[in-house]
Amino acid sequence: MIFINGFGFCSSDGSMMKELTDAVGVSLPNNSLIKSDFKKQLRSSGAFVTAGVRASEEALYGSGITEESLATTGIIVTSRIGDQNTTSEFIDELIGYGANQGSPLKFAHSVHNAAASYIAKQFNIYGPAVTAVNFDASFSNGLTLAQCWIEQRTCDSVLLLQIESCSLLTRVLTSYADQCTIQPSEVMETSTFADSKAQCVAACFLLSNHELNTNNTMKIVLSRSEENSNSMKDPLAIESPLGDPIRLLSAILRTQKREVVTVAGKTYLIEKI
Amino acid sequence: MSAVVTGMGCISPAGKNCGVTWNGLLGNNAPELTGISETGQIVFKASLDPAYDSNGIFHRSVDLLTQALDEATADAGLKEISDPSRVGVCIGTTSAGFLNDMEFHRNLREHLIEKKPIKSFLDGNPAEYVKKRLALNGPAMTIINACASGTDAIGVALSWLNGGICDIVIAGGADELHNVSGAGFYSLGVTSEHLCRPFDRNRDGLNLGEGAAVLIMETRESAVRRKRVSDISIEGYSASGDARHITQPDPEGIGIERAIRSALKCAGINAENIGFINAHGTGTIHNDLAESHAFFRIFGDKCPYFSTKGKTGHTLGAAGAIEAVITALTLRKQKLPGSCRYQNPDPDIPIQPAPAMDVSAKYALSTSLAFGGCNSALIIKYESNRI
């Protein structure tokens, strides 16, 4: 049994839970708003990292986690495609200016675990951090690993995220991964395929082996289930490249008592007790 | 919390398989295949068997991975898998996680999308590739944690096995020499136009390399069921973050110290039980300084250590896995290969690496430090009477 002590969803342009909660029909208390200014820290990081940091802050805020516990929290960042945009921008520099003219700042930020690194630095987290990129079951893999870490006492809490980019390049890759048809070569009208400033979205969950904020009137727990999923009402009115985490988040926001949700073929029970 | 290793495979600039790799670590000569990158830096190449060269269908990382995979599965006798849903795959990489085909990006600037590089990228996610190749049905996860990817893939595998998620996990790492990563490391000023010399006073940077390594990890029960006996086991793993800088390690090695101490606790042993350390030892000023300081604080001057990157180069996402295999082979041989081209003690390094020498070791430690402040430590055990 895992406790969901916090959750967050955002896009890199700053729009937060409002879109999702409007779709689900649930209104969040004011503590869902960003309280601190990350802009200076994140100015060089790109949209992928920014989305991850903002979603993490959303999940941590009001969770009741102490600084001491946060220091040993684990971080798992998952993605289907990863941050191809920052890589593409670095490659553009090599093409445009030569192999020895690449920006070290761009290269450093192009590695897929940059987001986990920023999250760790921003929140003073010294626990294990893993970044995984898989077209299939990326979030599900992350959830399984988070459960292992918590159950095996590797860490008491885990920040589990999925981050995706909404750039045209990522949409092309995703559509191909999902076996949609693209032409062998296509002429596109837009001038920018890969842009590290392109909108990115992220969802984050703070999972723990116990309830962190004992002031909460209700705790949310997650466990594996053998029941069939009844989450047919998926309020994905929002166009989002996140699939499984949004499904999980929607179920958390929507359910009054209990709901069974499917994440990459595995069923989980969410209970509010 | 341990897992047995019933099979290993490895290809690196030091050699085309496990046996050749270990012998290739001896002496101070450069690896057989060296080259010069576009930015004028020395790089080390692996000798890929032509039978595994997909000629661009897959990333070279995947070709290297396949060669190591076949050696490992043969070593483990893993021909028929009774329950594919109980076999997982966890592979670390860096290059194979990026769509970094230069020609693709040149065409993209002209608003043209070429299909072949996309297919190569999508079909070449390393863990998903292995899962498909062996018709497996367990979890498949590709870890992209920069230079600690291979070690962390082994750590994830250990978690799965101990959590009852899998009975067998194919774990490892793979990476290739690539113009993009070469240019990237050059831009950071950490590569060398000379042959690298880890921990040496005159070290001036790393040489990039390529390769792959695979370990077949199992629960003891699974190994017994398959009638496989192994003398090597993974006894402990831990990871810790610096939370400090996006590329440079903590200068005092606080993060790697934390990871090592936690791994020792995980393995249920003390520092004095470690017979030797296979260090990350890249040959950069910062890494070698930070790591050696951490070693000294934990082990004093009692534990010999060495770096193999003078022979393998820095193989990035494959490094942790290649070094885990080398650590296991070193335990079997009970002989340290030494650190290639180390000659001049650095007064800032509190304890110097060990030369080639015989040891009597039951446990060994392998360490990895990565961009993003990731630090990972792996403890491997050898029981000679199990064979």
Structure confidence by residue, pLDDT tens digits, B16-41 = 999 999 999 988 888 888 999 999 99
Q: Residue B238: list chain A partners with CB under 8 A.
A: 128, 154
Q: Residue A149: list chain B partners with CB under 8 A.
A: 159
What is the reported pLDDT for A36? 55
pLDDT tens profile B145-163:
999 999 999 999 999 999 9
Closest CA of chain A from B366, distance in Å: 17
Alpha carbons A127 and B241: distance in angstroms, whole number? 6
What is the reported pLDDT for B107? 87
pLDDT band at A34 (very low <50, low <70, confident <90, very high): very low
Alpha carbons B143 and B88: distance in angstroms, whole number? 13
For residue B321, give the amino acid letter: A
For residue B72, pLDDT beyond 90: yes
Say whether B371 and A95 touch across the interface (CB within 8 A): no
pLDDT band at B174 (very low <50, low <70, confident <90, very high): very high
Q: How many CB atoms lie within 10 A of CB A177?
A: 17
State whether residue A235 is helix, strand or coil.
coil
For residue A223, pLDDT beyond 90: no
Q: Residue A104: list chain B partners with CB under 8 A.
A: 184, 187-189
Say which range, A21-25, A47-51, A253-257, B257-261, has the weakest mean pLDDT.
Answer: A21-25
**Residue, of A96 and A231, whose pLDDT is higher:** A96
Closest CA of chain B from A118, distance in Å: 7
Q: What CA–CA distances, in Å, run from B40 to A104, A107, A150, B43, B199?
A: 17, 18, 47, 9, 23
pLDDT band at A21 (very low <50, low <70, confident <90, very high): low
pLDDT tens profile B300-311:
999 999 999 999
Q: CA nearest B183 in A: which residue? A: A99
Q: Is A179 left (phi over 0), alpha (psi -120 to 50) or beta?
A: left
User: Global pTM?
Assistant: 0.95
Q: Mutate one of A112, A124, A138 to test the B interface: name it (highest B CB count within 10 A).
A: A112
**Selection from B230, B257, B227, B229 nearest residue B241 by Cα:** B257
Q: Residue B245: list chain A partners with CB under 8 A.
A: 121
B31: burial class by Cβ within 10 Å (0-12, 13-18, 19+)?
Answer: buried
A226: burial class by Cβ within 10 Å (0-12, 13-18, 19+)?
Answer: exposed
pLDDT tens profile A53-63:
989 988 998 88
Q: Which residues contact A64 (CB under 8 A, 6 or more apart)?
A: A5, A211, A212, A213, A214, A215, A216
CB interface of B with A, residues 12-41, below 8 Å:
37-40
The percent of residues above 90 in pLDDT, for chain B, comes to 86
> Which positions of B are catalytic?
147, 280, 314
Say whether B241 and A120 touch across the interface (CB within 8 A): yes
Mean pLDDT, residues B356-365? 97
Nearest neighbour of B183 by CB, restricted to A102, A130, A154: A102
Mean pLDDT, residues B80-93? 96
What is the reported pLDDT for A33? 41
Say whether A134 and B125 touch across the interface (CB within 8 A): yes
For residue B320, pLDDT beyond 90: yes
Q: CA nearest A178 in B: which residue? A: B122
Closest CA of chain B from A196, distance in Å: 14
Q: Which residues contact B226 (CB under 8 A, 6 or more apart)?
A: B6, B77, B218
Alpha carbons B343 and B1: distance in angstroms, whole number? 39
What is the reported pLDDT for A237? 38
Say whether A102 and B186 touch across the interface (CB within 8 A): yes
Q: CA nearest A152 in B: which residue? A: B163
Alpha carbons A250 and A260: distance in angstroms, whole number? 12
Question: Does residue A149 sit at the B interface (CB-CB below 8 Å)?
Answer: yes
Rg (CA), chain B: 19
pLDDT tens profile B114-145:
888 998 999 999 999 999 999 999 999 999 99
Q: Is A153 left (phi over 0), alpha (psi -120 to 50) or beta?
A: left
Q: CA nearest B95 in A: which residue? A: A111
CB interface of A with B, residues 243-272, below 8 Å:
none
Mean pLDDT, residues B349-360? 96
CA dihedral B314, B149, B280, B100 (to 10 degrees): 20
Say whether B113 and A107 touch across the interface (CB within 8 A): no
CB interface of A with B, residues 168-187, below 8 Å:
169, 172-173, 176-177, 182-187
Say whether A100 and B370 touch across the interface (CB within 8 A): no
Nearest neighbour of A99 by CB, restricted to B112, B142, B183: B183
Question: Does residue B85 sit at the A interface (CB-CB below 8 Å)?
Answer: no
Could you give the ipTM of this predicted complex?
Answer: 0.96
For residue A35, pLDDT beyond 60: no
Nearest neighbour of A126 by CB, restricted to B37, B152, B240: B240
Q: Residue A108: list chain B partners with CB under 8 A.
A: 188, 246-247, 371
**Selection from B281, B239, B185 nearest residue B379 by Cα:** B239
Q: Mutate one of B118, B119, B131, B180 to test the A interface: name it (highest A CB count within 10 A).
A: B180
Q: Residue A82: list chain B partners with CB under 8 A.
A: 97-98, 144
Q: Residue B255: list chain A partners with CB under 8 A.
A: 126
pLDDT tens profile A157-200:
999 999 998 888 887 887 777 765 545 444 444 445 556 667 88
What is the reported pLDDT for B31? 85
For residue A162, give the amino acid letter: Q
Q: CA nearest A123 in B: which residue? A: B243
Helices B126-133, B60-76: crossing angle, 10 deg rounding = 50
Nearest neighbour of A91 by CB, restricted to B97, B102, B243: B102
pLDDT tens profile B179-225:
999 999 999 999 999 999 999 999 999 999 999 999 999 999 999 99
**Residue, of A204 and A254, whose pLDDT is higher:** A204
Alpha carbons A26 and A140: distance in angstroms, whole number? 25
Question: Does residue B91 sit at the A interface (CB-CB below 8 Å)?
Answer: no
pLDDT tens profile A79-92:
999 998 888 889 99
Q: Give me chain B's average pLDDT, please.
A: 95
What is the reported pLDDT for B232? 98
Q: Report which DSSP code applies to B167.
A: S
Q: Residue A102: list chain B partners with CB under 8 A.
A: 183-184, 186-187
**Selection from B240, B175, B249 nearest residue B212 by Cα:** B175
